[in-house]
Amino acid sequence: MIRNTTSRAFFDALYESSPDPWSFSSSSYELGRYERILQAVPRSRYKRAFEPGCSIGVLTERLASICDEVEAMEISCIAVDRARQRCSTQTNVHIMCASMPDQMPTGEFDLVVFSEIGYYFAESQLASLIDRLITQISPGGTFLAAHWLGFSPDHLLSGDNVHQVISNIKELSLEHSERHADFRLDRWVRL
């Protein structure tokens, strides 16, 4: 039997087996990646941000300090419960259990943080998803992506492939790029 590594059941099983399956709240890699993400955003304040694939809300909690409003989303309802607990004192954070592209928040964003989720989509699905996301980013808004550069049998694309797909979107212009030992981070502006 082939397991579907993009399904809610797959992610729920991971969160049932561990409260933090990727050690988002404790690993030096993850904490360092979050720090680089926050340092790479060009503004000190954003009106409305979207963080798809928020997991247990570690980055979400940090984004709340620089955003008037944060919309976050995660496919696993188990992870959403943990993220809501983590962010319970941040009244500007809204976290929903949903999957992209079927269920997405409405409205406009001036920041999208697309971190560690792109490789769970096939290339054509990812391109369509990014095209749809772009329609919700205000002109001059920030689209930031950060992805691990290692290999996982659970991933459909590599981190480099994800960033190449995003780079092919004509409505985005690359402003900033970083390559670290384990991950890459790119920031685009919406034209």
At residue 83 the predicted structure's pLDDT band, cuts being 50, 70 and 90, is very high
> Mean pLDDT throughout 110-132?
96
The answer to whether the CB of 140 falls within 8 A of the CB of 180 is no
pTM recorded for the entire structure: 0.94
The pLDDT, as a whole number, for residue 76 is 96
Encode pLDDT of 168-181 as tens digits. 999 999 999 999 99
> Mean pLDDT throughout 67-95?
97
DSSP per-residue string spanning 82-133: HHHHHTTT-TTEEEEE--TTTS---S-EEEEEEES-GGGS-HHHHHHHHHHH
Is the pLDDT at 40 greater than 70, yes or no? Answer: yes
Which of these CATH numbers, 3.40.720.10, 3.40.50.300, 3.40.50.150, 3.30.1330.10, describes 8-190? 3.40.50.150
Domain boundary assignment for the chain: 8-190
Is the pLDDT at 6 greater than 80, yes or no? Answer: no
| DSSP annotation of 73 | E
Structure tokens at 112: 């999208």
Is the pLDDT at 1 greater than 50, yes or no? Answer: no
* Distance in angstroms (rounded) separating the CA atoms of residues 107 and 135: 10
The pLDDT, as a whole number, for residue 4 is 76
The pLDDT, as a whole number, for residue 3 is 63
